[in-house]
Structure 1
Amino acid sequence: MKLSTPSAKTITPQSVIQETLEQDKILIVDDDPSLLRLLGIRLSAAGYVVESAANAKIALGMLKSFHPQLVISDLRMEGMDGMALFEQIRQQSPNLPVIIMTAHGTIPDAINATKQGVFSFLTKPFESQQLLETVEKAIQLQPLGAKSKNKQDLWRTKIISRSAIMESLLQQTKQVAVSDFSLLIHSESGTGKELLAKAIHQAAHRADKPFTAINCAAIPEQLLESELFGHIKGAFTGAEKNHQGLFQASDGGTLFLDEVGDMPMSFQVKLLRALQEKEVRPVGSTQAVKVDVRIISATHKNLQEAIKEKTFREDLYYRLNVVELELPPLAQRREDIPLLAQHFLNHSNHQSSLDINGFSQEAMEILIAAPWPGNIRQLQNVVEQSVALSRENIIVASLVKNALRDESSSLPSFQQAKDEFERDYLAKLLKLTAGNVSQAARIAQRNRTEFYKLLNRHHLTAEAFREED
């Protein structure tokens, strides 16, 4: 059974109430009462919940109870000014975006503010459309789940997202998590399959029991049985004591089988029997052990194609895939990139005791537009590399470009690798035969016509190799 994203939103009284409760909240700070009223009217008309503060001290007190998704503050105020307020906000809520307004805006002010981590800088007077566009971009830095204080949503707190496609997936996930059905997560590599599996475990009744993960592709075939089922002392050379397998270690909880599509065929039948009988037999033992484990598996492969190719058992597939969850690649959830990039930046700051505030606008635009074949894992690498090489307190576009270039060049695509091999192979043949196409074609076991097509495809000429000789 595969769950798909709903094509249309069903509007019910409950959904209207829920939508109202989840409206984005904005705190405006200015010592000009007329401007506070005007901004409040504009933003309320746009659907935001707005609160106002006449000075920075009042605003700091309201942060505790109002929990806004955005703060808009004037720069010049009596007492604590806008930048001082921003510093206080950053200490309390590092991820809360702040927009600074000023009638005294200059280029140095704007550069200084953005370098320190202010999201944006608006010079009065500004158009309503400019304000709303800037506000919308800032609001996108907040996860959809950040507004919910409901304890029932704690299971998803480590999943950073505000995209509609992920929100739909998480709603489906919560629905199936409460059961004991086996789940199959299908997605590209680097999308966070284990993180989703942990969230499912946290949402289920097994949350207080162990969660154990194993990468089936990383364990040699001869050790996989021992790793999952355990072994007894003396079962094989080097088995100096009894070893409890991951099935027993996960008893009562959840066992996550990552990259299950790479599991050897010889072991698949043993796994199928363990799932059917709900018991395992350690290597070298004659006694089976009962286990109560929920299985969540994941793969980047098309298992139905693998079944046709006889590399994956069909009966095991249906045992594992009672419900399938499709985790989207990063390129399909680009609105999550600013959130994820900021998260990895905060983590890198903490790990290295740095104090880099954020990304320049151009740098963030490059991140959002990048293709991300390596998904979230690649994004994390790009951010960490940018942080390591940054000499300022903000990540600039050149750092991101260099990191993306290094990432993309570190491992070519399959087609690029194939083309490079063909080109080198053909060049070596022509060099070996001094440009004799007939002889080169015979060595390659291709007819002359096909060989000439290959040469043309790679812009190689036999004459060049004759001259070289």
Structure 2
Amino acid sequence: MPRPRPDSPAPPPQRQRILVVDDDADMLRLLSLRLRAAGYDVATAASAEAALAHFDLERPQLVLSDVRLPGRDGLALFDELRARCPALPVILMTAHGTIPDAVEATAKGVFTYLTKPFDGRALLEQIDQALALAAPAALPAQADSRWRSEIISRSGRMADLLAEAYMVAQSDASVLLLGESGTGKELLARAIHRASPRAGKPFVAINCGAIPEALLESELFGHVKGAFTDAVSHHKGLFQAADGGTLLLDEIGDMPPALQVKLLRVLQERAVRPVGSSQSQPVDVRIISATHRDLEAAMAAGQFREDLYYRLHVVTLTLPTLAERREDIPLLANHFLDQLARKYDRKLSGFSPEALKALTTAPWPGNVRQLYNAVEQVCALSTTPLVPLSLVQRALRVPGAQVLSLAEARQRFEREYLVGLLKMTDGHVADAARLAQRNRTEFYRLLQKHQLTPAHFKPEGPTEPVADERQD
């Protein structure tokens, strides 16, 4: 075989093929000219049937289709394409009358929809984005997509993460999941379990920060009858419950130091010793841990054991924030709306384009969990099938409510009440105590408790400590 000459030009890169489907011949011609001018290889079809026939002959990298087609419409075409090639990006073109149908389709996985008439530059930007997102490495061909069915995404960032998670699932290595609260760490842990050889065995999860330290050891390792006052029977721990399967240790960064030592021993010996027992019991468990904390900073502060850290983070996967995967927001929002509409028996078809844009551009500090809560609010309040912008804006304006404990609320009220009395009496303790219907000694104790100095409220402003004024 002759070798190519060193000065031979490199072969031109293969152009990406787009299949355009529209029964309007003028629109087909216009779109073909515009896309070819942008460097794409373009094929056309005037019906869904013709598009499917072309797809069987030569698969395109993207399909651009009108919603209104003769016979089978664009939504039915999308369903068929999705069944044949789940990763193929599809963009729908729609007139105003079919916006609800197009919006509903985004919940099923349509990349986006464009309302006619649309700007040519906007069309090219959406196509570029769709092709870029379809480019990341796909999951291995043998992967059954059901393992990740709970994770709704089409972003390149998540595609890379899921491809990595699938490979990790085939081994028995411990996995550490990092990410902000609300990013879906438990969903990813469940997906890894379903993709693993342990899928037929239990998946057990525990939040290490939500259980008091006195109970956490018993929950994890179990206890025998009589081990402590309330131990009226033998109790199997979560390690034993997950035997053969997977145990998720959520918020592992909040685990008390004393329990970190015992957990490390279990991981090293692959055996647990129930509280009150002298016998260890072997367990076969795959550990996935998760945290939103910076464990390296916790180690530096002496709050997390270094040896345990290296046991847990054989493989580390970091979940992106919702702001880092904005292309998933329309898909997630419509998915949640569909779920909640069925749950509450509401007839909702989707979001208006303006509402969807507002959702997509919002900051989402609470990530996917916050998005779900916002969608639940608009689902409860919407009086029309298509959720309007006003309801989404209302949901987005709601600040994250600071929930105080009863004790904290009392403390805050008590301090504000005392400050108000001191302002009213210009710092005269006797008058303030009289208004509060308390004796001066008790009133002074309250002021000291809240670190309030009466002299700071006097018009002349001298600074004398609370204890001195009591001698006046």
TM-score with structure 1 setting the length: 0.72
Q: How does 1:189-208 map to 2 (within 5 A)?
A: 189-208=181-200
Structure 1 residues 27 and 239, CA, compared in 2 at 3 Å: closer, same or farther? farther
CA distance in 2, matches of 1:24, 1:198: 37
Q: In the alignment, which of 244, 248, 265 is matched to residue 256 of structure 1?
A: 248
- Matched to 2:295, the amino acid is L
- Aligned Cα root-mean-square deviation (Å): 4.3
Asked whether the equivalents of residues 390 and 399 of structure 1 are also in contact (C-alpha less than 8 Å), the reply is: yes
Task: Kindly provide the CA deviation profile for residues 209-258 of structure 1, in whole angstroms up to 9, marking residues without a partner as x.
Answer: 33221111222322222222123344444545433222122222221100
Pair 1:296-2:288 in alignment: yes
In the TM superposition, what whole-angstrom CA distance separates every residue of 1:85-113 from its partner, at most 9, and x where no partner exists? 25645887799866336xxxxxxx62x32
After TM superposition, the structure 1 = structure 2 runs for residues 130-209 of structure 1, keeping only pairs within 5 Å, are 130-133=122-125, 135=127, 139=130, 150-152=141-143, 154=145, 155-209=147-201
Aligned positions of 1:12-411 closer than 5 A: 26-30=19-23, 32=25, 35-36=27-28, 38-40=30-32, 42-43=34-35, 46=38, 51-56=43-48, 58-59=50-51, 70-73=63-66, 75=68, 79-80=70-71, 85-86=73-74, 88=76, 99-100=92-93, 110=96, 112-117=97-102, 119-123=113-117, 128-133=120-125, 135=127, 139=130, 150-152=141-143, 154=145, 155-406=147-398, 408-411=399-402
- The structural deviation recorded for 1:376 is 0.5
RCO comparison, higher one (Cα < 8 Å, 6+):
1
- Alpha carbons 1:184, 1:322 under 8 Å: kept: yes
Amino acid at match of 2:330: P
Q: How many angstroms apart in 2 are the aligned matches of 1:261 and 1:299?
A: 6
The percentage of counterpart residues that share the same residue type is: 46
Deviation at 1:450, TM superposition (A): 10
* Matched-pair contact (CA < 8 Å) for 1:186–1:327: yes
Alignment size in residue pairs: 411
Task: Name the CA shift for 1:347/1:267 in 2 (closer, same or farther; >3 Å).
Answer: same
Quickly say closer, same or farther: Cα 1:367–1:144, change in 2 above 3 A.
Answer: farther
Q: Tell whether the 8 Å contact from 2:65 to 2:74 is kept in structure 1 after alignment.
A: no
Query: Matched residue of 1:231: which SS?
Result: coil
Contact 1:26 1:48 in 2 (8 A): no
Deviations 1:60-97 (A, max 9, x none): 7778996986542275x6x54xxx72564588779986
Equivalent position of 1:432 in the other structure: 422
CA shift, 1:375, in A, is 0.8
Q: Greater Rg, structure 1 or structure 2?
A: 2
**Does the CA contact (< 8 Å) of 1:120 and 1:134 recur in 2?**
no
Once structures 1 and 2 are overlaid, which stretch shifts more, 214-223 or 45-54?
45-54
Q: Deviations over 1:14-44 (max 9, x none)?
A: xxxxx989x7864513152x64355345446
Q: Could you tell me how far apart the structure 1 residues matched to 2:451 and 2:75 are? A: 71
1:152 CA displacement: 2.1
* Alignment deviations for residues 354-377 of structure 1 (CA, whole Å, 9 cap, x no partner): 442322222122112212111110
Alpha-carbon distance, 1:379 to partner: 0.4
Corresponding letter in the other structure for 2:93:
I
- Paired with 2:351 and 2:161, the residues of 1 have a C-alpha distance of 29
Q: Which structure 1 residue ranges, 5 or more long, are not aligned?
A: 1-18, 102-108, 456-469
Q: Distance in 2 between matches of 1:430 and 1:302?
A: 41
Q: Quote the offset at 1:323 in angstroms.
A: 3.1
Greater mean deviation of Cα atoms: 344-353 or 378-387? 344-353
Residues 428 and 151 (structure 1 numbering): CA distance in 2 closer, same or farther, change over 3 Å? Answer: farther
Q: CA deviation at 1:382?
A: 0.7
Inter-partner Cα distance in structure 1 for 2:456 and 2:144: 61
Take 1:151 and 1:134, find their aligned partners in 2: how far apart are those partners?
30
Letter in 2 for 1:403: A
CA distance in 2, matches of 1:270, 1:147: 40
Q: Structure 1's 55 and 264: CA in aligned 2 closer, same or farther, altered over 3 A? A: same
Task: Give the secondary structure class of the aligned counterpart of 1:276.
Answer: helix
Which secondary structure does the structure 1 equivalent of 2:177 belong to?
strand
